[in-house]
Amino acid sequence: MKILVTSGGTGGHIYPAISLIKYLENNGEEVLFIGAKNRLEEEISQKEEIPFVGLEFNKKNKIKYIISLFKSLKRVLKIINKYKFDIVIGFGNYISFPVVLAAYIKRIPIILHEQNSVMGKANYYLGFLAKKIGYSLPLLKQPHKHKLVNVGNPRSNECIKSSSKCLNLDYSKKNVLIFMGSLGSSSINKVLKQFIKEKNDEYVYHIVTGKAHYEDFIQSVPIKDNVKLYPYIEDMLSLMKKCDLVITRSGATTISEIITLGLPSILIPSPYVAHNHQYYNANYLLKNGACLMIEEKNLTSKLLQEKINYLLNNSEERIRLRINSLKLAIFNSNEKIYKLIKEIHHE
């Protein structure tokens, strides 16, 4: 089959798409990835040697953005005419609009994938055009209910395949990983600076500040032997596997990694995302006894230390979080999506 995949914007949209593309290629399918030009999706595609076409979007104002959407639609129609795709798969974000719309015009079957607990606007509107909509987490609301299929998050396959190699850790002490997504968080970093100054335990903390915040962070806190600071970690999965506790945001990709690896976690949802979807992602785990959660508005250095001490001094609670996380995981997401593709292709 010839399959067109579209995604972009944030890692939560991009990494599941990349995982599915690699799976499809390994199964002998011909795949083209369409995203935005000069953005993260293009960078990752080049690294993974995935065929990629970048669309240009001008978001300076609404008029220029609409014009760029029509130009992108015209370009995608030409690409579809050339390659004659059998199916199109969209992973959300505004980039999906011209690609999915072009597929609908050309009567090509469409599958969408929703990573979060709250369906994004792109998937909501494009859902009217789709044959099926796969989802990772139970949706708070269920638009297009008759089209919904629980397929999990393709990122789960990457978790299973990831190596156990990572930075040298001191296993005589408990290791805590703290990261707030690939870019970091200035608001959380303020609390973490205070936390480092006040804390009085002997755990080893691996804190990923985000590249833009690293220099400021290292100049603002005292140097301690059991605090390791990093601007960014390329192979985060390997480090996550080796740590006793993970403290992080609750984006879709991160949630998938936590439940697939069965990690004890403290989740701090970002309140700055559309529809507050990270809160609902985290709340799904919380209701199922699979994490602890601190809302950012309540986060203090003292509260963070209390939660860390509670978990790291309570092995039974950590085991409970691990077991309950694993109960929520879908380990064969790519296989489920591939099966869906073949079913729709043969209709």
The per-residue pLDDT for range 287-336, each reduced to its tens digit, is: 999 999 999 999 999 999 999 999 999 999 999 999 999 999 999 999 99
How many C-beta atoms surround the C-beta of residue 49 within 10 A? 9
- pLDDT at residue 1 in the model: 95
Work out the percent of the chain whose per-residue pLDDT is above 70: 98
Q: Which whole number is the average pLDDT over 134-162?
A: 92
DSSP per position, 238-265 = HHHHH-SEEEE---HHHHHHHHHHT--E
* Pairing assessment for the beta strands 265-267 and 245-248 based on DSSP bridges: parallel
Residue 168, pLDDT above cutoff 80:
no
- pLDDT at residue 166 in the model: 61
| Mean of pLDDT over the chain | 93
Confidence of residue 167 (pLDDT cuts 50, 70, 90): low
Please give the DSSP secondary-structure letter assigned to residue 92. S
The per-residue pLDDT for range 226-240, each reduced to its tens digit, is: 899 999 887 888 899
Cβ neighbors of 164 (< 8 A, separation 6 or more) are 238, 241, 242
Identify which of 6, 257, 9 has the alpha carbon closest to the alpha carbon of residue 136. 257
**Greatest CA separation found in the chain?**
64
Residue 2, pLDDT above cutoff 80:
yes
Q: What are phi and psi of 137, to 5 degrees?
A: -115, 150
Structural domains present in the chain: 2-153+331-345 (3.40.50.2000), 161-328 (3.40.50.2000)
Cβ proximity of 213 and 187 under 8 Å: no
Cβ neighbors of 31 (< 8 A, separation 6 or more) are 2, 3, 4, 5, 21, 24, 25, 50, 51
- pLDDT at residue 165 in the model: 65
Residue 183, pLDDT above cutoff 80:
no
How far, in Å, CA of 251 to CA of 129, rounded? 26
- pLDDT at residue 120 in the model: 93
Confidence of residue 157 (pLDDT cuts 50, 70, 90): confident
Confidence of residue 117 (pLDDT cuts 50, 70, 90): very high
C-alpha separations of 119 from 27, 113, 123, 147, 148 in Å: 29, 10, 6, 13, 11
The per-residue pLDDT for range 10-47, each reduced to its tens digit, is: 888 999 999 999 999 999 999 999 999 999 899 999 99
Please give the DSSP secondary-structure letter assigned to residue 205. E
Please give the DSSP secondary-structure letter assigned to residue 295. -
Q: What b/e string do you get for 224-262 counting C-beta neighbours within 10 Å, with b at 16 or more? A: eebbbbbeebeebbebbbebbbbbbbbbbbbbbbbbbbb
Residue 260, pLDDT above cutoff 80:
yes
- What pTM was estimated for this model as a whole? 0.92
The per-residue pLDDT for range 47-85, each reduced to its tens digit, is: 999 999 999 998 888 898 899 999 999 999 999 999 999
How far, in Å, CA of 285 to CA of 261, rounded? 14
Cβ proximity of 253 and 228 under 8 Å: no
Half-sphere exposure of 111 (CA within 13 A, CB side): 24
Cβ neighbors of 206 (< 8 A, separation 6 or more) are 167, 175, 176, 177, 178, 228, 230, 239, 243
How many C-beta atoms surround the C-beta of residue 68 within 10 A? 17
